[in-house]
Amino acid sequence: MLDVGCGNGRFAAFLAERGAAFTCFGIDASAPLLEHARARGLPPGTATWRLGDFLEGPLEAHLPAQRFDLVVLFGVLHHVPGRQRRLALLRALGRRLRPGGLLALTAWQFEAFRRFRDRLLSWEAYNRSATEPIDPAQLERGDHLLPWRRGRGLRFCHFADDAEMEGLLGEAALEAVERYRADGRSGDLNRYFVVRAGA
């Protein structure tokens, strides 16, 4: 399994707790989160954790060259700015699938929920106090700034609606095996896609 944006290794731990037999290659841009992943105490040889930010420099340089039975991209795609970058990432992950392999990914549906919409910071408000203002002409529909809980900093979040997601998967030559919604209070906070490389 390749876990892109593996964070603290939660998904690998989830599999291990259920007795799954697997090896995991996890990559994340956060060194502190990777330390948490290493501290989980997974069986020896189960997981390899690598520090890497695929938004910096060439995408392919940060991803392992080998192919995998399963690639997961959970809680990541909405932080990738620019449709072309999102598309390039999906294509790169599709190339890392073995024949018959699956890619599972999420699209956070934050824009559909008032509790998140009410917290969004407008780009104009951000630019009023920013040392490096953002040029609105460089933004895409669905690009937002969302404060972390308790107002500690801001994060870029892109809302990809159903049409964008279907378009990205089609252009990346990824064929959907399953689509569903899950997570959150109402059970539909994330849209999940399980896809395979198309013919």
**% residues pLDDT > 70 (the chain):** 98
At 52-72, the pLDDT tens digits run 998 887 888 889 999 999 999
Q: Is the pLDDT of residue 199 over 70?
A: no
Question: 181 to each of 69, 87, 103, 109, 193, how far by Cα in Å?
Answer: 23, 21, 16, 9, 9
3-state secondary structure of 63: coil
Q: Which domains does the chain have, with CATH numbers?
A: 2-110+159-197 (3.40.50.150)
Q: How many residues does the chain have?
A: 199
Query: Stretch 85-100: mean pLDDT, rounded?
Result: 95
Q: Considering only residues 148 and 104, tell me which one the structure prediction assigns the higher pLDDT.
A: 104
At 112-122, the pLDDT tens digits run 999 999 999 99
Distance CA 81, CA 78 (A): 8
Which of the residue ranges 3-7, 58-62, 178-182 would you say has the lowest mean pLDDT? 58-62
Question: 26 to each of 52, 66, 87, 161, how far by Cα in Å?
Answer: 10, 13, 21, 27
Which stretches of 42-96 are assigned E, i.e. beta strand? 47-51, 68-73
Q: What residues form DSSP beta bridges with 107? A: 191
3-state secondary structure of 91: helix
At 160-175, the pLDDT tens digits run 999 999 999 999 999 9
Phi, psi of 31 (to 5 degrees): -65, -45
At 129-150, the pLDDT tens digits run 889 999 999 999 999 999 987 6
**In angstroms, how far is the first alpha carbon of the chain from the final one?**
22
Q: Is the pLDDT of residue 151 over 70?
A: no
Phi, psi of 25 (to 5 degrees): -110, 110
| Nearest residue to 27 via CA among 39, 158, 16, 1 | 1
With beta carbons less than 8 A apart as the criterion, state whether 80 and 140 touch.
no
Distance CA 107, CA 163 (A): 12
**pLDDT score, position 24:** 95
Phi, psi of 159 (to 5 degrees): -95, 110
**pLDDT score, position 112:** 92
